[in-house]
Chain A
Amino acid sequence: MNILSIKNLHATVDGKEILKGIDLEIGAGEIHAIMGPNGSGKSTLSYTLAGREGYEVTQGEVLYKGQDLLALLPEERAQAGIFLAFQYPVEIPGVPTVTFLKQAMNSVRKARGEKELDAFEFKKLMDARLKELNIVNDMVRRPLNAGFSGGEKKRMEVLQMALLAPTLAILDETDSGLDIDAMKVVAEGVNALRGADRSMLVITHYQRLLDYIVPDHVHVLAGGRIVRSGDKSLALELEEKGYADIATAAA
């Protein structure tokens, strides 16, 4: 059974149809990359999978480990192992990052019937991850994402992913805005999570990331549909030719 099975997914935002029939199968342990022009619906797909309000599914279905994903609340999806690294992480002034991280982790653990971590256990875990991801301790004492630089926000997303250890991670342009060193750190963080029981959907504009996170499959999303799929060489082809040809060729 596949981890994620999307069939003929149509979704509207504010009454406007953005996703126009997406089909996508992601197997256990697989990494899929999605590329596509601005406004093609990549973030819409990721929000729809994460359960954001206002993203209305009008047709089709999404099964996660064989279960109807669309029936779940956003928090239930996260608890079930879906993680969305936001393209634009939200700034939440007043909520200390570390408070948030602990509460998120314990919510997920609680839902899975695992013991909640006390402050000490949590700190040990967090410190280890911070070190791996080259994040200064100081950052987690600040309010969540508030005033973080673009790159810091993306790293914070990867930290959260590392802590929550999801079954399906959706990375929405996690590489955008990162310098080359930061991108490597992020890629290492992602690769460290790779495993037979973990799948990823990596949304990116740059083939560069895919040198570090090598995908099993690459898809092109244009106009709310997957217009082409292939292996990692498709990413190189896109880099050379741009989307125009592919989108028209597929139309």
Chain B
Amino acid sequence: MTTTRDNGLLADHTNLAAALPGAGAPWLDALRADGAKRFAGLGLPTRKDEAWKYTDLSALARSRFAPCCGAAPAPRSPEIPAPLVADGPQAVFINGRFDAELSTLGGAPEGVTALPLAQAMTQEPKLLESYLGRVAELGRKPLVALNTAWLADGFVLHLAGGVTLTRPIELVFWGDACAGDDRSAWHPRHLIVLDPSARATVVERHIGRPGGHFANSVTEIAVAAGAALRHYRMQDEPGDAAHIATTEVVLSAGAAYEGFVLSTGAALARNQIAVTLQGEGATASVNGAYMGRASQITDTTTLIDHAAPGCTSSQTYKGVLDERSRGVFQGRIVVRKDAQKSDGHQSNRAILLSDRAEIDAKPELEIYADDVKCGHGATAGELDDDALFYLRARGIPEHEARGLLIDAFIDGAIGEITHETVREAFRQRAEAWRQGGAA
């Protein structure tokens, strides 16, 4: 009955799981076992799954993975960039495992718990037990199940009520796999819990060296009443990596989540986010920019669930696709029956720089309430010829003119980032990508 190919993703789970951090705690053992069982049943999704119609994981499924366990030290010394915000706290993960030596977390202020998951298993078992696997329910989500089966390390951030973290916490994920002929996979699991009226900003940077790794992360986020989280992700994995990131967010009354993903790296990247607006008056601003070249595939899949009245959601995505790259955008807004006065908007605009580049866009509105303001818009096209000519007619060489227009276009999404320093850093990264040969 199992549909999982024997590709090593679940190899020797029973034995290896017994050696994972926290093993022996009944709830955790059960959670991992449940993940393993479900993944064994589901296997990696195929294009027959509606949610994976446009993104093909068959190459991943055919790969052979090294057994997934134990600390996997980087064979070469990692290059960890300075934090985006000078002297800010930085947690560094090497091949999915926290590295205390490379990290500079400093002492956490009063009311703040900020520590690696493996450590939280002994220090904060109650917190983990109440949230892990509860925000991101396993259901029929094979990648969440796989992540849960190997749940071992990641980052845990908990802010007590009313606490404000002034500087962003930065998480750096350095991937530098070395498993002989086999590919390496890791499954970081993060938990962010903000108690009422707390405020924090979290920045993730995903970088590394080529080695064909597969990073399959799951982030569970619970934002309590009146609390606010800003969550910025820069996905700049090496060109042969696979990056699948699942983010699940639950917002209580008046809570706010602002998310941004700048996706430029990996051979195959999927950033999927599900936000449930569960309390009245919650707001979600979920945005991103994706940029691809060569034969990169970058997939953005969003689900915004208006489950309570008077909530607001907005999504602004921009994509620039060059050469034979492919973008996928699946954006779904659900407004439940009782969620009157919902305001949900979504826009996805892509520019194709080459006639071999492609975008598949599937916006979906599912509205069961009658008093709502919802809308979506999707466009795909080339750079504006009139604008290009206008700039060139002023003496600006074509490649520079194209660059100006691409930067301006992407800026329309990056401008949604409300943290100034982060916004500037993301802008620079997008510009650097563009100068890397596209225009």
Distance in Å: Cβ of A39 to nearest Cβ of chain B: 19
CB 8 Å contact bits of A72-107 with B (1 = contact, 0 = none)? 011101110000101001101111000110011101
Q: A94-B412, A95-B408 are in contact. Are A107 and B397 (CB under 8 A)?
A: yes
The A interface, classified by DSSP as helix, strand, loop or mixed, is helix
B398–A73 touching, CB < 8 Å: yes
Q: A92-B408, A94-B408, A103-B404 are in contact. Are A79 and B395 (CB under 8 A)?
A: yes
- B386 contacts which chain A residues (CB < 8 A)? 90
Q: How far is the CA of A212 from the CA of B409 in the complex (A)?
A: 40
Give min CB distance, B100 to chain A, whole Å. 43
Measured between alpha carbons, how far is A95 from B404 in the docked complex, in Å?
7
Interface assignment of B385: CB less than 8 Å from any CB of chain A? yes
Kindly list chain A residues whose C-beta atoms are within 8 Å of the C-beta of B392: 51, 73-75, 78
* B-chain residues with CB within 8 Å of residue A90 when the two chains form the complex: 384, 386-387, 389-390
Q: Which of A52, A93, A103 has the most CB of B within 10 A?
A: A103
Flag whether A45 is at the interface (Cβ < 8 A): no
Complex interface bits, A203-243 against B, C-beta within 8 A gives 1, otherwise 0: 00000000000000000000000000000000000000000
Residues of chain B contacted by A73 (CB below 8 angstroms): 392, 398
Report A186-218 CB contacts with B as 1/0, cut-off 8 Å: 000000000000000000000000000000000
B-chain residues with CB within 8 Å of residue A114 when the two chains form the complex: none
Residue A111 interfacial (CB < 8 Å): yes
Distance between Cα atoms of A93 and B386 in the complex (Å): 13
Q: Is the CB of A53 within 8 A of B398?
A: no
Question: B393 on the interface (CB 8 Å rule)?
Answer: yes
Would you call A108 an interface residue if the criterion is a C-beta within 8 Å of the partner chain's C-beta atoms? yes
| A173 → chain B closest CB, angstroms | 16
Assess the B390–A89 pair: CB atoms within 8 A.
yes
- Please measure, in the bound complex, the distance between the C-alpha atom of A99 and the C-alpha atom of B398, giving whole angstroms: 16
CA distance A52 to B392 in the complex (A): 9
Judge if A34 is at the interface, Cβ distance under 8 Å.
no
Whether A92 lies near B398 (C-beta < 8 A) is: no
> What's the least CB distance linking B398 to chain A, in Å?
7
Say yes or no for B29: interface residue by CB 8 A criterion: no
Main secondary structure of the interface of B (DSSP, over half): helix
Interface assignment of B405: CB less than 8 Å from any CB of chain A: yes
**B-contact 0/1 string along A35-74, CB 8 Å cutoff:** 0000000000000001111000000000000000000011
A51 proximity list for chain B (CB < 8 A): 392-393
Q: Would you give the shortest CB distance from A75 to chain B, in whole angstroms?
A: 4
Q: Which residue from chain A places its CB closest to the CB of B397 in the assembled complex?
A: A75
- Which residues on the B side are within 8 Å of A52 (C-beta)? 389, 393
Are B394 and A164 neighbours in the complex by a CB distance under 8 Å? yes
Compute how far the CA of A218 lies from the CA of B391 in the bound complex, rounded to whole angstroms: 30
B residues less than 8 Å from A100 (CB atoms): 391, 394, 396, 404
Contacts of B56 in A (CB 8 A): none
A89 contacts across to B, CB distance below 8 A = 390
Chain A residue numbers with a CB within 8 Å of B371 are none
**Could you tell me the distance in whole angstroms from the C-beta of A139 to the nearest C-beta in chain B?**
17
Contacts of A79 in B (CB 8 A): 395
Number of residue pairs spanning A and B whose beta carbons lie under 8 angstroms apart = 77
Instruction: Tell me the B383-439 residues at the A interface (CB within 8 Å).
Output: 384-387, 389-398, 400-401, 404-405, 407-409, 411-412
Give the distance in Å from the alpha carbon of A79 to the alpha carbon of B394 in the complex: 8
Of A77, A78, A105, most buried by chain B (CB within 10 Å of CB) is A78
Q: Which residues of B contact A108 (CB under 8 A)?
A: 394-395
Chain B nearest Cβ from A233, distance in angstroms:
33
Residues of B within 8 A of A103 (CB): 396, 400, 404
In angstroms, how far is the closest chain A Cβ from the Cβ of B136? 36
A75 touches B408 (CB 8 A): no
Instruction: Give bound CA distance, A108 to B395, whole Å.
Output: 6
B25-81 with Cβ < 8 A to chain A = none
Q: Are the C-beta atoms of B396 and A75 separated by less than 8 Å? A: yes
Q: CA A121 – CA B359 in complex, angstroms? A: 44
Which B residues lie within 8 Å of A53 (CB)? 385, 389
- Known pairs A94-B411, A95-B404; A160 contacts B390 (CB<8 A): no
B391 touches A92 (CB 8 A): yes
Does B409 lie within 8 Å of A111, measured CB to CB? no
Q: How far is the CB of B415 from chain A (nearest CB, A)?
A: 9
Give A94 to B387 CA distance when docked, in angstroms.
Answer: 12
Within 8 A of B (CB), among A123-150: 143
Given the contacts A93-B408, A95-B408, A78 and B395 also touching, CB distance less than 8 Å: yes
Partner of B393, one of A78, A93, A99, A105: A78
- Report chain A residues within 8 Å CB of B405: 92, 94-95
Contact call B390/A111, Cβ cutoff below 8 A: no
* CB-nearest residue of chain B to A161: B394
Kindly provide the distance from the CB of B277 to the nearest chain A CB, expressed in whole angstroms. 30
Return chain A residues, CB-CB under 8 Å to B390. Answer: 86, 89-90, 92
Shortest distance from the beta carbon of A32 to any chain B beta carbon, whole Å:
20
In the assembled complex, the CB of A50 is this many whole angstroms from the nearest CB of chain B, namely 5
Beyond A78-B395, A104-B395: 17 further Cβ-contacts under 8 Å? A52-B389, A52-B393, A74-B392, A74-B393, A75-B393, A78-B392, A78-B394, A90-B387, A90-B390, A92-B384, A94-B405, A94-B411, A95-B405, A103-B404, A104-B394, A107-B400, A164-B394
29 contacts between A and B (CB under 8 A): A50-B393, A51-B393, A52-B389, A73-B398, A74-B389, A75-B393, A75-B395, A78-B392, A78-B393, A78-B395, A86-B393, A89-B390, A90-B384, A90-B386, A90-B387, A94-B405, A94-B407, A94-B409, A94-B411, A94-B412, A95-B404, A103-B404, A104-B394, A105-B395, A107-B394, A108-B395, A111-B395, A160-B394, A164-B395
